Amino acid sequence: MRLVEMFTPLESPTACSEDGARPASRSEAGDKIPFGANTGFKAPCEPSGWKVRDLLTGFTIFSIVFSLLGCITDRSVSTRTEEVIVQAAPSEKDDVLAERLRALEQSISSLRSEVGELGSRLRSFQARPPLTVYKLPREVYLCGERFPLEDRSVWENLDREFLVALDSEAQILLWMKRARRYFPHIEKRLKEMGLPDDLKYLTITESGLRPSAVSSSGASGIWQFIPPTGEKYGMRRNRTIDERFDFFKATEGALTYLKSLYEEFQSWALAMAAYNAGENRVRKEIELQQTRNYFYLDLPLETERYVYKIAVAKIILSDPGRFGFQMEEKEFYDPLQVERVQIELTKPLSIMDIARAVGSYYKEIKEMNLHFSEETIPPGVHLLNLPPGTSDWFWIFFSTWKRELECK
């Protein structure tokens, strides 16, 4: 129903007369008219004859329409407000997102660096395959002398030492690290003396390149000299000094000793066996067994295994990556670098005074000079190891020390 029709007046049940009059309920004088009396008075009719019911209906409809219009208006206002918020919010959100993005980029950069470092470490310390993967070379030479691996007993002896060594991963890593420190000097002296470079691997079998190593039999130092042999090759030993722990002096003695052994036995395998068991024992066994072939001599068990162990050290350290041992350059130990000076003393000289004079620590000077047993250097002529670049400071101190000593 259209709105016009809804508001169209309905005819009243009491119709007006044709002249527009209707029965009146009051007299013109305002007197009371008895209920139900018919006076004949007529009043003009109301236009269109509205009823109360129609007014209520119209008012209700108008209220509904007004409410609908109000809701529409409120929604429009709300929508505009939301639009303003939506338009204003992106600017704030963009700032927050930009800040988060910058933080995320920094995190990614840091994570990428950590992943790269972790990858390097994993490549260096990746799990090694089982020992059965690694095989001995088909041909093995030590100091230019060939191992007769076609003989199964020789192959078995070498294979045993090979597997035992490979099973000690930590030990091999330490060999690699220490070799970088001590091999350069040994290699230099071997070349200068015209000796095989492979002789440097004796130090692996003897001491694992530990300068302070001491065996149960009393052998000491990297080259493991026993006291009589050490003294024979110029290494002094008493209560205050033991030059078997002097790496440089012991190296000179060991290479000289090996050279003399080779000159006698004319075999580097026999020379190395004699270095371990003593030349007298090897001479005796050669004479008794009537053979000069190391691989077929019945020798003390330690000596029988000795040359094989040296060969295994060479096999592994010559190409450690082939056997699953990887190491970054920075993880090797620094090469041994010292300034070596000769001094002559009439009185003991304090190691602490030396350390103070060269700007070092007592511990550092002491570890460079393991051959000095006490806190002082005893009277006599000695070779002293100093940190690189400090010898000038030492000589200034030493000259002053001597003058003060002379004035007393």
Radius of gyration of the chain (CA): 55
What are the pLDDT digits (tens) for 294-350?
Answer: 999 999 999 999 999 999 999 999 999 999 999 999 999 999 999 999 999 999 999
Whether this model's pTM surpasses 0.85: no
Which amino acid would we find at residue 57? T
H-type helices in 125-226, by residue range?
152-166, 169-193, 202-207
**Spatial separation of the C-alpha atoms in residues 202 and 67, rounded to whole Å:** 106
The domain locations on the chain are 3-89, 131-331, 339-407
Buried b (16+ CB within 10 A) or exposed e, 24-44: eeeeeeeeeeeeeeeeeeeee
Phi and psi at 168, nearest 5°, equal -100, 80
Please give the CATH number for the structural domain made up of 131-331.
1.10.530.10
**Burial readout 383-401 (b: 16 or more C-beta within 10 A, e: otherwise):** ebbbbeebbebbeebbeeb
pLDDT beneath 70: ranges in the chain: 1-91, 120-127
Provide the pLDDT for residue 61: 54
What pLDDT does 312 receive?
Answer: 98
Distance (Å, whole) CA 236 – CA 228: 10
Read off the tokens for 230.
Answer: 């050490």
Residue type, 248: F
How confident is the model at residue 97, as a pLDDT?
Answer: 83
Residue 345 φ/ψ, nearest 5 degrees: -120, 140
- The confidence score (pLDDT) of residue 63 equals 55
For position 112, what pLDDT does the model report? 86
pLDDT at 119: 74
> In terms of C-beta density within 10 A (0-12 exposed, 13-18 middle, 19 or more buried), how is residue 329 classed?
exposed
